[in-house]
Amino acid sequence: MKLVELIKYLINPGQLDELFIHLGLNLEAEVYLIYLESRLNLESEVCIFPIEETDDDLIFEKDGKRYIQLFSIDHAVDLIEYDLDLNNKNYSDIEIARQLLDYRQKDA
């Protein structure tokens, strides 16, 4: 999954449990973190890990792959809804994804 595909869940947080079940994630995790494989880029694969697995490391390696943390799921939802005020503004998913990446690279 690419970041743009994750946006539909982030703007509709009620659907996140459905995504977690689809991905086979433990619904009891304290926090879920969004990581991008190899680099912070729209083309990078998104992986979601429970914080217990990554210890909240900004760079995490698993099975020989390097992942870079974007945000926690909760923080990404808050950014979209409040801080960046992107929800319900007729932005496309790709525009929201770009804004999240830009914020992470420049402001976070």
The model's pLDDT over 59-96, given as tens digits with 9 standing for 90+, comes to: 999 999 999 999 999 999 999 999 888 877 889 999 99
Q: Is the pLDDT of residue 27 over 60?
A: yes
The model's pLDDT over 13-24, given as tens digits with 9 standing for 90+, comes to: 999 999 999 999
Among all chains, which residue has been given the structure tokens 């992942």?
A: 67
Cα–Cα distance measured from residue 12 to residue 45, given in angstroms and rounded to the nearest whole number? 21
Total domains in the chain come to 1
Long-range contacts of 39-43 (CB under 8 A, 24+ apart): 39/68, 40/68, 40/70, 40/101, 40/104, 40/105, 41/101, 42/2, 42/3, 42/4, 42/94, 42/97, 42/98, 42/101, 43/2
Q: What integer is the mean pLDDT of 21-31?
A: 92
For residues 36 and 26, which has the higher predicted lDDT (pLDDT)? 36
Q: Is the pLDDT of residue 108 over 60?
A: no
Tokens, residue 107: 């402001």
Q: Could you give the percent of the chain with pLDDT greater than 90? A: 86
Structural domain that includes position 78: 3-106
